[in-house]
Every structure is written in C-alpha cells, then in structure tokens.
Structure 1
C-alpha cells in the first residue's frame, strides 16, 4: 500500500516536472532552457530531475515514448487470431485517442521541435520505431520471416498514414477524427490486400 502511494506520488511529481519543462520550452525555446532552469521553476534538485529523466531531451520526447508504448501494448494484447491489418488498425485507433486527448500539448511540442535544430536532427525520420512494430507483429507468428517485405511495407504505410492524419488533425478539428483515421486506413489496407502479385502468408498480413 505504502509502495503504491509512493509510486503514484513519484509519477505525479514526474508529470509536474515535465509540464514545467514543456512550459519553459514553449515560452523560451528548447535551446534556451537548461536543466537548472527546469529545476528552479519546478522547485526540485537536479538529482531529483535526473531520477525522472536522463536529460533535457528526454522531457521533450516523452510523449513520443508514451505513443510508442501505446502501440506496443496494443500489439502485445492482441488476440492470436487477429490479422496484422486488424492489429494495426486497433493500435492506430488507440494512438489517435491519445493524440486527441493531448492535442494542445502535441501541437506545442511540435513547434518546440521545429524551432530547435538539435531536436530535429536527433528525431527526424528515425526508422527504428517502424522496425520495432515489425518485430512485434512478426513475434505474433512463430516461424515468420522477420524480413518479409509485405509486413514491412504494411507497417511503413500504416505509420505514414497516421502521420498524415495527425498533421491534418493538428490543422483542422474534424467532427469525428477517429472515424476519419479509420477511413484513411481502410483505403490503405484495401490497397494492401489487392496488391498485384502479393500473396501474404496465411494469418500474417492480410
């Protein structure tokens, strides 16, 4: 019981520290804020900050880590009989709900990243996230070839689709953003199912 209370308090303090840092990044720009500035504003010691985050960069990218975890958790919890397409559809829908709940924060952090050359250079177009998704999907099919290109292509198209949806959602408030995402994904998945000459392994991609 006491351990649980301590963990909740730690997570609450960690979240407050992150919110303080994000506010400073938005106000001053990422490159103009130091860990010392964050600690002063959050009224914590530097050692406390580093218990929560290895460095300043990790505060900015924490929402991305949360989003990656949402996808990983959804894939891990998927039923064995679900196809990769259905699993990815569900994962992207869960991701969209997170983006909707945190729209203002994600927009603000996007601006922070765009104004910082360091953040852009470190996180622009990193392919390992897609590789991780491919690996998680492949693990659902014992004996499947991890280099099977239809699965890799499916993941790349799905991730690109979500990015397109997210950019549109940042600019426009749709009446039903989740339904819009599903419509776009359906178009991509229909194309994936009907690719000429591609016959996915049974129970894997399609």
Structure 2
C-alpha cells in the first residue's frame, strides 16, 4: 500500500487506536448494563463490572467517570447516531426534511433494538442518580441538533428561534412515538413514526 493510501485510510475515519478504545468502552458498557438487567442497578459495583468485563479498575475510569456514566452510554450512542444522520442527510433536503430523516434513522435503530431498549428505558427512569444527568436534558440536546443543522448548510453561529422551534417540535414528536412504542400502541412502529412526523409537518 502506498503512503497516500495510508493517509487516505487515516483521514477516512477514526484511527486504529481510537477504534480499539471505542470497542473496549462499548464492551465495558455492555457488560455493565447486562449486570444491571440481571441483578438491579443498585446491586452491582464497579469492581464487579471490571471482573466480568476483564478490565482493571483504572481502565474502567479511563472510559467512565462513574457507574451512572456507564449506564448512560447507549443514550450517548443514540445521540451520536441521530446527529450523524443529520450530518449525512442528502444535501438537497431542507432543515425540516433533514431532521425528519435523522429522526427516522433513530426510530429504525430503536425498533431494531427494542427487545432490550424497552427494559433499558425503564431502568433509566427508575435510577434516581440519573435525574439531573446532562444526557437526559432535552434542552441541551435540542441546541446541539440545531447546531448540526446549521453546520450541514455551512453556517456558524447560534440557531434562530424558528430552527430551535422546529427541532424542539421534532424531538417532542419522537417522544410521543416512543411513548406509543412503550405502551404497545405502535403496531407498525416505523410506519407509525412516519405518520407522526407527517402530522407534525402538516401543522
């Protein structure tokens, strides 16, 4: 392989070290959440997570600041998926269509993972230590999403109220759909999400 080929690979995505670290972090989070499901969040210690995951405590703390931080890793992964879908939306889509494109991508992910996500969301709600977690504060997430929409059109600065309102309404629509999923009211989940988003666009 040529030097140019090496450079192309290194700039196309995360390097090998970053990918290994991400995989190790995901493994520890997966083990932790599996133990939480099995025994209850409050009954699992960081030491036990490390023993089952086969990592040292210092390795755990390289990835996560606390046990709660490990529990929130799937939320961060979904946020990354959502914002990545906005960044990767077709260039011809306007802001509203790009947002809907990303919400649908997130919805498909949720449906595919629903067998365990249903239990995961319940555990999140029942964990008092997470009540003030920044990852669960939608206002901050809405600002990040609005910023991503600006970046995809090559703009900088703060989003105006119209864009923030559209993002807030889109996230609220997704939350309504998720509530229907949890209540068993979404017989065809992705089609139902399409209907919810279409209703939002119709005003």
- The offset of 1:11, in angstroms, is 4.6
Are residues 11 and 138 of structure 1, via their aligned partners in 2, closer, same or farther at CA, if it must alter by over 3 Å?
closer
Report the secondary structure of 1:54's partner residue: coil
Structure 2 equivalent of residue 101 of structure 1: 112
User: Does the 8 A contact of 1:96 with 1:178 survive in 2?
Assistant: yes
Choose between structure 1 and 2 for higher RCO, CA contacts under 8 A separated by at least 6 residues: 1
1:132-154 deviations in Å (ceiling 9; x for gaps): 01111123445687342221111
User: Does the 8 A contact of 1:60 with 1:109 survive in 2?
Assistant: no
* 1:1-206 alignment runs, 5 A limit: 11-123=22-134, 124-141=136-153, 146-172=158-184, 174-191=186-203
Over aligned residue pairs, what C-alpha RMSD do you find?
2.7
Q: Distance in 2 between the 1:125 and 1:174 partners? A: 25
Are residues 49 and 173 of structure 1, via their aligned partners in 2, closer, same or farther at CA, if it must alter by over 3 Å?
farther
User: Does the 8 A contact of 1:138 with 1:144 survive in 2?
Assistant: yes
Are residues 12 and 182 of structure 1, via their aligned partners in 2, closer, same or farther at CA, if it must alter by over 3 Å?
same
User: Does the 8 A contact of 2:150 with 2:159 survive in 1?
Assistant: no
TM-score, length-normalised on structure 1?
0.79
Are residues 31 and 147 of structure 1, via their aligned partners in 2, closer, same or farther at CA, if it must alter by over 3 Å?
same
User: Any unmatched runs of 5+ in structure 1?
Assistant: 192-206
Q: Distance in 2 between the 1:28 and 1:119 partners? A: 18
User: Does the 8 A contact of 2:68 with 2:129 survive in 1?
Assistant: no
Q: Distance in 1 between the 2:183 and 2:157 partners? A: 39
Q: Which moved more, 1:143-152 or 1:154-163?
A: 143-152
User: Does the 8 A contact of 1:29 with 1:115 survive in 2?
Assistant: no
Are residues 185 and 45 of structure 1, via their aligned partners in 2, closer, same or farther at CA, if it must alter by over 3 Å?
same
